[in-house]
Amino acid sequence: MTGPFDAVLLIAFGGPQGPADVRPFLGNVLRGRRVAPERVEEVAHHYERFGGVSPLTDLTIAQARALEAALVARDVPLPVRVGMRNWHPFLKDTMAEMTRAGLRRAIGFLAAAQRSYSGCLQYRENVDEARALLHAEGTAPVEVTYVGDWHERPGFIDAVTANTREALDRLPHELRDAARIVFTAHSIPLSMAERYPYREQLDASARLAAAALGRDDWAIVYQSRSGRPGDPWLEPDVRDYLRAERARGLRAVVLCPLGFLCDHVEVLYDLDVEAIDTAREIGLPAVRAAAVNAHPRFIAAMADAVLDVWYRYRSGRPLTLTRAKC
């Protein structure tokens, strides 16, 4: 079909696919950063606990295939390609394959609901770097026009609330009304949070989800912080929060990974292992809701965001590489 774009590029973090991948993958994640070797080994063991395989790659590919089908159903049959920042399929390799396939103009979808440097601008820098490398090799790289913010899209909120309701149903019946919904997101340095709308967009997503659930008792906490211990990052940490609130009488909790789109290792380890173990130690009934993964309502939100861009340029293609705000 003719139109302003001929593909979608889904851009995500990446993850190891076997034990031998773990340390090279972490080397890619941490390049340019000073991280103590013992901390690197600690994180490596988190991945090794799950066989050295992050579910992120398979889940992201499942999202891509479902998005492709959703676009076909809405009469915009664009192929959806996956490119990763830190592991295979690397962005540069995916973009080179797109060029070989004759694809020239893509709608870019970043696998991060709330904007920060690491969840927005850094991905776009990675795309720019891949394009520059391909251009230097004599290849005409695909142009990328990004979707806008989608953290308040009804489909995204619907998927979050559906998974949270399912988790609530796993609590004993007598605790469900008393349970607090605790939304979690990746902590980022305070200096980064002051320059990007990360906290504000998390709050907006959480408020919509809590309202859809009919719950007034909810909170936002953070997890998975890295970097130097003395540097200020967003708080409270999820485990510190659980201990403090249990001491104040909290009866039960549902952990909802609002800031994560897949049940990958940072969810599986930091919540299912560490946070749930903490809850067990302090006698706090706790369950964890699934991330949105490939929930049909989330896929609908992805399709809505892509089609907004498609129809915006329906009468003519973008003239230059379009960089939406970060």
In angstroms, the CA 177 to CA 234 distance is 29
- Both 138 and 166 in a single domain? no
Confidence bin at 299 (pLDDT 50/70/90): very high
The reply to whether 159 and 211 lie within a common domain is yes
283: left (phi over 0), alpha (psi -120 to 50) or beta: left
| Interval 111-126 mean pLDDT | 95
Average pLDDT over residues 80-97: 98
The residues pairing with 184 across neighbouring beta strands, listed in sequence order, are: 221
Using 50, 70 and 90 to split pLDDT, how confident is the model at 236? very high
Residues 34, 68, single domain; the answer is: yes
- 319 CB-near residues (< 8 Å, 6+ apart): none
Do 215 and 300 sit in the same domain of this protein?
Answer: no
Confidence (pLDDT) at 287: 98
135 & 218 share domain: no
Q: What is the pLDDT of residue 159?
A: 98
Our count of domains for the chain comes to 2
- Residue 185: domain span: 154-288
Q: Are residues 230 and 198 in the same domain?
A: yes
Whether 12 is in a domain gets the answer yes
Q: Which helix (H) or strand (E) holds 231?
A: none
Lowest mean pLDDT among 35-39, 135-139, 142-146: 35-39
Mean of all residue pLDDT scores within the chain: 95
pLDDT for 326 equals 75
Together in a domain, 207 and 265: yes
Q: Is residue 320 part of a domain?
A: no
The Cα 214–Cα 313 span in angstroms is 38
CATH number for the domain harbouring residue 12: 3.40.50.1400
- Examine the domain organization and report whether 130 and 168 are in the same domain: no
Element holding 287 (H helix, E strand): strand 286-288
Are 182 and 88 in a shared domain? no
Provide the Cα torsion 187, 67, 288, 238; round to 10°: 0
